């Protein structure tokens, strides 16, 4: 009887996998293999992790909040003449994709500075917080109770002491060490408004209330509606003590001023109000300071509540726009087939295409899966480099010396379907040159991977990589 029941459940789940909308064919195959090949375990895995379900209550709440929030273009002093950038047609097309995802238009009058390294980024953030007069809004996926984490906490406590409203939001899993630490209690006692996002609670009950592994992977800091930061860096030391054997963690972060700040503020506010009863819409309606001359930029915020395949579509659009040069850095590469094809197509049509991956990945399954794609990339003419001096955690893309994408999104299935992410797309030769120079600096600590080297991998390594690639769509 139990065997019959098990078979019925397996068949029902396989049918459900085949009927689910917005499912990549490779993902369907992977889940069917898991369900059939792993009795009981495969069924439980699918029930817990198989569907991108954020929960009906959460969806309803988020829709209600977003409907009531003022739009960025409703800010007092927001003059389309001052914030609408002059763009060439091919540039407008790139920004139209971003607008279709999160609703933000490209805005002009922005300035940016690429931080020198992780410690400088934290120190600069702290210095900016020390100048805050009205509010500080902070969101990190991982915030560690270490040296840099302590610096940030101390800066928030100082700001609160002088009357600045500070709101700090962290992912419940990513920042669990901070949440359990005395530092968290100290911030709460000092008056910092704290929020835990996507709390796990009872894992079994999460089957009925959204996936347990949905995460808020964003990294946002907004100060007084005049400064924001965007990039790959969490609030932690580059030594990253929980995974010290992979250290240092090397990140890329930019400090922005200009109208694009208000878009990052809008993303923060939507997250804050989705998990708090506090209404902070008045912060969004503070008058816009007339922008100075600057470049065009746009926040692209994505997540499981956004359009299906929004993140890979963003990457692919930029990749297909490349005419001369395409340079990518990503720590985690588990692409959908269309993204892999886009990168190969860039190299095949003569675009100088380069990608840097970590030599050692903190996620062994993702690292092996990434390597399963090397042969096709190399055959197309893509230059592959592996970073040797730690984990190159920077998520960057530069195109033709004028376009830069920087942010939190990886080129993997988690960022495509499960994580809430934020990126900034910008069009500026000077900022892109700075980012391109940084990418070139990374190459000094890289080894190039050749087709001959890949061809000489032992069959056991190829087997391991390809087996893990089969289940890559569910990683």
Please identify which of the residues 135, 395, 412, 428 carries the catalytic annotation.
395
Helices H / strands E in the chain, number of each: 20, 18
Is 63 a residue of the active site?
Answer: no
Q: How far apart are CA 311 and CA 226, in angstroms?
A: 27
Q: What is the pLDDT along the chain (475 residues), one digit of tens a residue?
A: 667 676 777 777 778 777 776 666 777 777 777 777 777 776 677 766 666 666 667 667 777 777 778 888 888 888 888 898 989 988 999 999 999 999 999 999 999 999 999 999 999 999 999 999 999 999 999 999 999 999 999 999 999 999 999 999 999 999 999 999 999 999 999 999 999 998 876 666 655 666 677 899 999 999 999 999 999 999 999 998 888 899 999 999 999 999 999 999 999 999 999 888 899 999 999 999 888 899 999 999 998 877 778 899 999 999 999 999 999 999 999 999 999 999 999 999 999 999 999 999 999 999 999 999 999 999 999 999 999 999 999 999 999 999 999 999 999 988 988 899 999 999 999 999 999 999 999 999 999 999 999 999 999 999 999 888 877 666 5
Q: How far apart are CA 107 and CA 260, in angstroms?
A: 6
Give the model's pLDDT for residue 191. Answer: 97
Is 22 a residue of the active site?
Answer: no
Give the model's pLDDT for residue 213. Answer: 74
Please identify which of the residues 219, 271, 363, 412 carries the catalytic annotation.
219
Q: Is 217 helix (H, G, I), strand (E, B) or coil?
A: coil
8 Å CB contact between 300 and 267: no
Please identify which of the residues 154, 186, 400, 445 carries the catalytic annotation.
400
8 Å CB contact between 424 and 299: yes
DSSP character for 245?
G
Give the model's pLDDT for residue 29. Answer: 74
Is 217 a residue of the active site?
Answer: yes
Give the model's pLDDT for residue 254. Answer: 98
The phi and psi torsions of 352 (rounded to 5 degrees) equal -70, 100
Please identify which of the residues 135, 217, 266, 371 carries the catalytic annotation.
217
**Listed residue (327, 416, 406, 319) closest to 366, CA to CA:** 416
Give the model's pLDDT for residue 325. Answer: 98
Q: How far apart are CA 190 and CA 160, in angstroms?
A: 7
Q: How far apart are CA 379 and CA 132, in angstroms?
A: 52
The phi and psi torsions of 334 (rounded to 5 degrees) equal -135, 80
Give the model's pLDDT for residue 277. Answer: 85
Q: Is 78 helix (H, G, I), strand (E, B) or coil?
A: coil
Q: How far apart are CA 162 and CA 130, in angstroms?
A: 10
Please identify which of the residues 24, 105, 171, 224 carries the catalytic annotation.
224
CB atoms within 10 A of CB 5: 9
Is 135 a residue of the active site?
Answer: no
**Listed residue (184, 194, 268) closest to 224, CA to CA:** 268
**Listed residue (222, 220, 224) closest to 289, CA to CA:** 224
Q: What is the DSSP string of 181-209?
A: SHHHHHHHHHT-EEEEES----TTGGGTS
Residue 370 contacts by C-beta under 8 Å, 6 or more apart in sequence? 332, 333, 334, 357, 361
8 Å CB contact between 336 and 416: yes
Give the model's pLDDT for residue 203. Answer: 60
Give the model's pLDDT for residue 475. Answer: 56
Helix (H) or strand (E) holding 356: strand 352-358
Q: Which residue reads 């009795």 in tokens?
A: 39
Exposed/middle/buried for residue 350 (C-beta within 10 Å: 0-12, 13-18, 19+)? exposed
Give the model's pLDDT for residue 170. Answer: 98
Q: Which residue reads 């609030």 in tokens?
A: 235
């Amino acid at each position: 009887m139990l065997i019959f029941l098990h078979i019925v459940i397996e068949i029902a789940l396989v049918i459900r996998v085949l009927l689910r909308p917005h499912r990549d064919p490779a993902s369907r195959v992977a889940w069917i293999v898991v369900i059939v090949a792993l009795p009981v375990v495969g069924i439980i895995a699918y029930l817990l992790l198989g569907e991108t379900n954020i929960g009906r209550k959460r969806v309803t709440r988020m829709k209600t909040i977003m409907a009531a929030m003022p739009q960025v273009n409703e800010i007092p002093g927001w003059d389309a003449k001052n914030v609408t950038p002059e763009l060439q047609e091919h540039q407008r097309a790139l920004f139209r994709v971003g607008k279709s995802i999160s609703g933000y238009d490209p805005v002009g009058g922005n300035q940016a500075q690429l931080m020198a390294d992780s410690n400088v980024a934290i120190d600069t953030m702290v210095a900016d917080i020390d100048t805050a007069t009205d509010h500080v809004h902070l969101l990190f996926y991982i915030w560690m109770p270490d040296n840099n984490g302590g610096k940030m906490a101390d800066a928030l406590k100082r700001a609160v002491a002088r009357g600045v409203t500070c709101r700090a939001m962290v992912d419940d899993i990513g920042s669990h060490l901070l949440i359990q630490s005395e530092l968290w209690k100290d911030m709460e006692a000092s008056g910092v408004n704290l929020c835990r996002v996507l709390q796990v609670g009872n894992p079994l009950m999460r089957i009925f209330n959204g996936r347990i592994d949905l995460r808020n992977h964003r990294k946002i800091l907004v100060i007084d509606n005049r400064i924001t930061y965007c990039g790959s860096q969490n609030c932690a030391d580059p030594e990253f003590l929980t995974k010290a054997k992979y250290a240092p963690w090397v990140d890329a972060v930019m400090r922005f001023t200009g109208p694009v700040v208000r878009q990052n503020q809008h993303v923060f506010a939507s997250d804050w109000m989705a998990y708090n009863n506090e209404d902070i819409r008045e912060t969004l309606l503070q008058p816009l300071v007339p922008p100075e001359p600057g470049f065009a930029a746009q926040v692209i915020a994505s997540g499981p509540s956004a359009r299906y395949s929004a993140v890979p579509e963003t990457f692919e659009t930029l990749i297909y726009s490349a005419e001369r040069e395409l340079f990518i850095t990503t720590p985690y590469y588990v692409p959908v087939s269309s993204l892999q094809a886009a990168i190969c197509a860039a190299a095949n049509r003569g675009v100088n295409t380069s990608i840097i991956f970590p030599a050692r990945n903190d996620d062994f399954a993702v690292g092996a899966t990434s390597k399963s794609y090397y042969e096709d990339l190399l055959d197309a003419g893509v230059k592959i480099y592996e970073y040797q001096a730690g984990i190159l955690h920077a998520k960057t893309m530069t195109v033709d010396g004028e376009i830069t994408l920087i942010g939190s999104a990886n080129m993997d299935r988690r960022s495509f379907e499960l994580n809430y992410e934020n990126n900034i797309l910008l069009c500026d030769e000077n900022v892109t040159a700075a980012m391109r120079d940084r990418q070139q600096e990374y190459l000094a600590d890289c080894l190039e991977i050749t087709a001959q080297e890949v061809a000489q991998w032992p069959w056991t390594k190829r087997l391991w990589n390809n087996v893990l690639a089969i289940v890559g769509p569910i990683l």
